[in-house]
Amino acid sequence: MENCSPKNIVVISDPLFLKHNPGPTHIESPRRLEVIYERIEKPDIKDLYVNIAPRPANIEELLWNHSQDYIETIAQSKGKDIVQFDPDTYAGAYSWDAAINAVGACFNCLDKLITNQFRAGFALVRPPGHHAEYSKARGFCLFNNIALAAHYAINKLGAQRILIVDFDLHHGNGTQWSFYNSSNVLYFSTHQFPYYPGTGSLDEIGEGEGEGFTVNIPLFRGVRDEDMANIYEQILMPIAYSYNPDFILVSAGFDIYVDDPLGGFQISLNGFSIIANYLFDISKHTCPGRLFFVLEGGYNLYGLSEGVATIIKEIGLGQRDKIFDAELSLSPSVSILDTISEVKKIYSNYWKF
């Protein structure tokens, strides 16, 4: 953007999010955020962003996406050592406070982005959110941060079209179901399939007014940088340009990293650079300055912290003239070409490729 300050990314990081403790052996640990917070304080990153404070979402705002009974259930965990909601999802004494502030952090970021002073925002929060459903905690998630951010953009900021891009290894079931019948939100997900949580097949395309506005790209293990680049080039870009969103919200899951213990993809740090550049390029042509990332998964601490740093650096510096590194092969695997062809066939009734 022409009038960006040198610190042109707005970030939310706060010690409160380290207090969410699902248990001493849980893989979604406070250390995930600690390594990110340490990394963004290093000289190559710290001058690229402005850090702002979160605020708690209120009950009325949470009700945009969750039931009253469910909200009360999560609230009752406050002050208790460990409360289990499903086989993978726990809360501790401070989890309620962390969860409502994670949602409010998204709202505060969006408020900053509409001032046109920033290129993008990144809510570095936990617990993550995209598996949380209307009345069910799932997959380490309590409230659906990205879905509630979309509701906020529509209900408070006057947005009519929200593009949600979810690059987490796991399909965002909660986000999908939140907007399955709506054309106000276009949900685009690349994810390993079949895999947890079991949703995200090619035939899940939305219903009613939302038909064609859920775009699932189910992928096998072994997806590489060049595979993701071709998916974004051939599918995401034409759909996004046609949809012309008012905001682009991103569920940023770094469990697609090559060495992630829960993952089966082969995405390198250069792959995160590619993703960042595609999303920034789309935002520049559709909704400048309204590109927002919220942290989801990622369990290799190096890939997680360096992946976040890569995205902040790519967008903050904005120095690339081309999306791809010169040395990157643009030849996707045969299976990816087949998937791209099948997706285009399914969605040709809704979008032009």
297 in Cβ contact with 262 (< 8 Å): yes
- CB neighbours of 241 closer than 8 A, spacing ≥ 6? 282, 285, 286
Q: Provide φ and ψ at 10, rounded to 5°.
A: -100, 130
Encoded tokens for 7: 């610190």
DSSP-derived pairing of the beta strands 185-192 and 214-219: parallel
Give the dihedral sign, CA 19/47/35/266: positive
Bridge partners (DSSP) of residue 199 are none
Residue 15 is classified by DSSP as G
The answer to whether 171 is a known catalytic residue is no
Closest CA to 166 of 272, 237, 250: 250
Distance of alpha carbon 228 from alpha carbon 225, whole angstroms: 5
Torsion angle of the four alpha carbons 300, 34, 317, 282, in this order, in degrees rounded to the nearest 10: 60
Label residue 329 exposed, middle or buried (CB < 10 Å: 0-12, 13-18, 19+).
exposed
32 in Cβ contact with 128 (< 8 Å): no
Catalytic residue chosen out of the listed positions 20, 66, 130, 131: 131
Encoded tokens for 343: 């997706």
Encoded tokens for 232: 């974004």
| Positions marked catalytic | 131
